Amino acid sequence: MDRILVLVRHGQSEWNLKNLFTGWRDVGLTEKGIEEARAAGRKLREQGLDFDIAYTSALKRAQDTLTIILDELGQPGLETVRDQALNERDYGDLTGLNKDDARKKWGEEQVHVWRRSYDVAPPGGESLKDTLARALPYYMRRIQPDVLSGKTVLVSAHGNSLRALIMAIEGLTPDEILKRELETGVPIIYELGADSRPVSVRVLKD
């Protein structure tokens, strides 16, 4: 039985381009982001993948990335579940700020702690641990059972919500997941065993 799970971080967004903290703010894709999504779809098509269901967040950039990928795959009507459990980490008071301006306001060290620690949240926002607390139960309840039943599943989401899933799938420690960088528009293909652990992992980079 094939148990295939594909994770894709959305293509470059308008605020990624401007170096702004985005979080739950609903911004669109740039032209580069649209092309990254198209390229992801082409790479998945070349792998001969045919999906049974897709999951995405409640945010436009992830949904639009998914729509473009499915168009490239010739599966525009695929059953899709949208849920804010898969939303990006909420950056609270940092949302909308340029990252360099945030460093000037709070200091390089403090902003680094907010961005790269596991359990320290920015004011009014979420830590990676908080993001995990909502994304992981959703994965265990909805996505993982689909994969383990033999469905081929596509998830289009965000850097930090996907980190939460990867942490669970690969059994990583907080320190290990903090070091994992996810590029925009690059599919990660997992084949899971019956015990839900990865049998193989492929990253479809150029």
Q: Look at residue 1 in the predicted model and tell me its pLDDT.
A: 73
Q: Look at residue 152 in the predicted model and tell me its pLDDT.
A: 98
- Above pLDDT 90, what percent of the chain? 92
**Amino acid present at 199:** V
- Angle (CA) 56-64-8 rounded to 5° is 50
Nearest to 190 by CA among 64, 46, 42, 49: 49
- Model confidence pLDDT, tens digit, residues 34-83: 999 999 999 999 999 999 999 999 999 999 999 999 999 999 999 999 99
- Angle (CA) 199-63-54 rounded to 5° is 40
* Terminal CA-CA length for the chain: 28
The single residue listed with the structure tokens 């690969």 is 170
Q: Tell me yes or no: is domain 13-49+61-151+169-188 CATH 3.30.1280.10.
A: no
112 is catalytic: no
Q: Look at residue 100 in the predicted model and tell me its pLDDT.
A: 93
- Phi, psi (5° rounding) for residue 151? -75, 150
Q: Look at residue 184 in the predicted model and tell me its pLDDT.
A: 96
Among 10, 36, 72, 126, the one annotated catalytic: 10
Among 31, 35, 79, 88, the one annotated catalytic: 88
Q: Look at residue 179 in the predicted model and tell me its pLDDT.
A: 86
88 is catalytic: yes
177, 163 contact by CB (below 8 A): yes
Q: Any idea where the domains of the chain sit in the sequence?
A: 13-49+61-151+169-188
- Token couple for 26: 């609903």
Please give the model's pTM, rounded to 2 decimal places.
Answer: 0.95
Q: Look at residue 199 in the predicted model and tell me its pLDDT.
A: 96
Decide: residue 118, CB within 10 A, 0-12 exposed, 13-18 middle, 19+ buried.
middle
**Amino acid present at 58:** A
For the chain, which ranges sit under pLDDT 50? none
